[in-house]
Amino acid sequence: MNMEQEIDVAVQLELADYLRATYWVLLRKLWPFLLILMLGGFVFPILFLVGVTGEAAEPSGSNWAFFVGPIVVLLIVGSPYFQAKRNMASQPVLQEELRYHFRLGGLRIVSPSSTWETTWSNIVKAQETGSNFLLFVSNSEVHIVPKRCFETLELVIDIRRLLGEALESRAKLWGDA
């Protein structure tokens, strides 16, 4: 691909794309907390109830505190799902087809209701996951470009190359860019 050429990608975001990106970001930020919560909230109560950590629990005792860990984990896992559904339903731009125009000079996103354009210097980082390219404008704003929207594998490779060249160390990509 000639790097002066523009790469266009039409994206119709789906709930699954949004959820994968949300959970990826969430797990990257909270994995130490979730690991401790899993050990403390699930493993320790099970070991305690079977008597491995000392005396077995009394059936007559109140063990309600053992449910705190699993409930917190369910909230951490469940609330992004419900928030994603709410966002997809309430934000019209998430329901529109977005056209991403990648070029060496920057990124332009066009939808029926808006246009957004920036140079690569305003992209904090780019991350490639198994299903998406995530383009972070800030720590709390990300543009999701699902790989399923690329017509060919060559376009995915071209995007990798372009992001690697434009963002350098700010791009965490698979393969050789």
The model's pLDDT over 45-63, given as tens digits with 9 standing for 90+, comes to: 676 666 665 565 555 555 6
Indicate if 110 and 63 belong to the same structural domain.
Answer: no
Domain boundary residue, one of 47, 62, 92 = 92
Secondary structure tally for the chain: helices H, strands E: 5, 8
**In the predicted model, what is the mean pLDDT of the chain?**
84
Domain boundary residue, one of 34, 61, 92 = 92
Task: Answer whether residue 151 shows pLDDT above 80.
Answer: yes
Q: Which structural domain, as residue segments, surrounds residue 65? A: 15-92
2: in domain = no
Task: Answer whether residue 124 shows pLDDT above 80.
Answer: yes
pTM attached to this predicted model: 0.77
22: in domain = yes
Task: Answer whether residue 35 shows pLDDT above 60.
Answer: yes
H or E element at residue 126: strand 125-128
DSSP 150: -
Strands 125-128 and 171-172: parallel
Q: Which residues contact 116 (CB under 8 A, 6 or more apart)?
A: 108, 109, 110
Alpha helices (H) along 91-150: 92-95
Kindly list the distances between the CA atom of residue 65 and the CA atoms of 52, 76, 80, in Å, as whole numbers in the listed order.
Answer: 18, 18, 24
Indicate if 58 and 72 belong to the same structural domain.
Answer: yes
DSSP 103: E
Indicate if 99 and 82 belong to the same structural domain.
Answer: no
Domain count, the chain: 2
